[in-house]
């Protein structure tokens, strides 16, 4: 029967982060985008536990007006980490205006995915200014059904949460020194005005039980999850390259 020892996994993750930095950046800080949601909050807290607050940098990136920007500020202030607020709205609007002026026909999906890609470019720009290493904050549940933006929030140099479900991330979050209301915050991409579960068509509780135990009651939901998983596996794989027979 499936069981999850949150304290054990949390401590192992902290040690994994320390080991990764010992090998890949002994003097480098960890840099990550801070959205105010549970994933970036839990990741930031794990990084502080592993490296100390002096080696963690948070980047807040509102796209103009961000309704929950106070949550992002609460995270960095609570953890006491160095942080920068960089408004990406100028970059987003400038690029969209340029594309529209060329009659490209910008789609809704392109508009939704552009901000997270610009955010990740911003995080990497900040990171390189500090010889940092970028933390990916995606979790297993999102990755399982492709609920991430390739080369946006799906990018990074290392990923503490990518093998943990939403349910497991929240359990770890309750053990860390972070405000619980951020751990239990309704997940949303902050881009399209809907919650993650609205967009997906099923709850994370249902998805997580299916991932870990293979149990799901509704055949239609199972079919939807399986289809999303199959369609989005490419996001988790290295870019294929032609290998000539030379």
Is the pLDDT confidence value at 5 over 60?
yes
Cα dist from 15 to 2, 5, 161, 206, 221, whole Å: 24, 16, 14, 30, 37
Cα–Cα distance for residue pair 104/11, rounded to 1 Å: 49
Cα–Cα distance for residue pair 246/234, rounded to 1 Å: 27
The percentage of residues in the chain with a pLDDT greater than 70, rounded to a whole number, is 98
| Domain residue ranges of the chain, discontinuous segments joined by + | 6-236
pLDDT, one tens digit per residue, over 118-167 is 999 999 999 999 999 999 999 999 999 999 999 999 999 999 999 999 99
Is the pLDDT confidence value at 171 over 60?
yes
Fold category of 6-236 in CATH:
Rossmann fold (3.40.50)
Cα–Cα distance for residue pair 246/238, rounded to 1 Å: 22
Beta bridge partners of 32: 58
Is the pLDDT confidence value at 115 over 70?
yes
């Amino acid at each position: 029967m499936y069981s999850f020892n949150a304290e054990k996994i949390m401590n192992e993750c902290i040690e994994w982060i320390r080991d990764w930095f010992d090998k890949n950046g002994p003097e480098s800080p960890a840099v990550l985008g801070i959205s105010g949601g549970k994933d970036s909050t839990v990741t930031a807290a794990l990084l502080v536990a592993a490296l100390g607050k002096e080696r963690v940098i948070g980047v807040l990136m509102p796209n103009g007006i961000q309704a929950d920007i106070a949550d992002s500020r609460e995270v960095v202030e609570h953890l006491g980490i160095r942080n920068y607020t960089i408004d990406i709205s100028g970059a987003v609007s400038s690029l969209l205006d340029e594309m529209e002026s060329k009659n490209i026909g910008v789609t809704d999906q392109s508009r939704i995915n552009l901000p997270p890609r610009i955010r990740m470019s911003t995080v990497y720009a900040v990171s390189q200014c500090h010889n940092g290493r970028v933390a990916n904050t995606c979790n297993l549940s999102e990755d399982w059904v492709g609920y991430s933006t390739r080369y946006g929030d799906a990018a990074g140099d290392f990923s503490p949460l990518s093998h943990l479900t939403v349910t497991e991330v929240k359990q770890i979050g309750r053990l860390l020194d972070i405000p619980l209301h951020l751990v239990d915050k309704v997940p949303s991409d902050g881009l399209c005005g809907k919650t993650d579960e609205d967009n997906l068509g099923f709850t994370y509780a249902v998805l997580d039980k299916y991932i870990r135990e293979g149990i799901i009651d509704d055949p239609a939901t199972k079919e939807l999850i399986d289809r999303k998983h199959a369609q989005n596996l490419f996001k988790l794989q290295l870019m294929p390259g032609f290998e000539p027979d030379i």
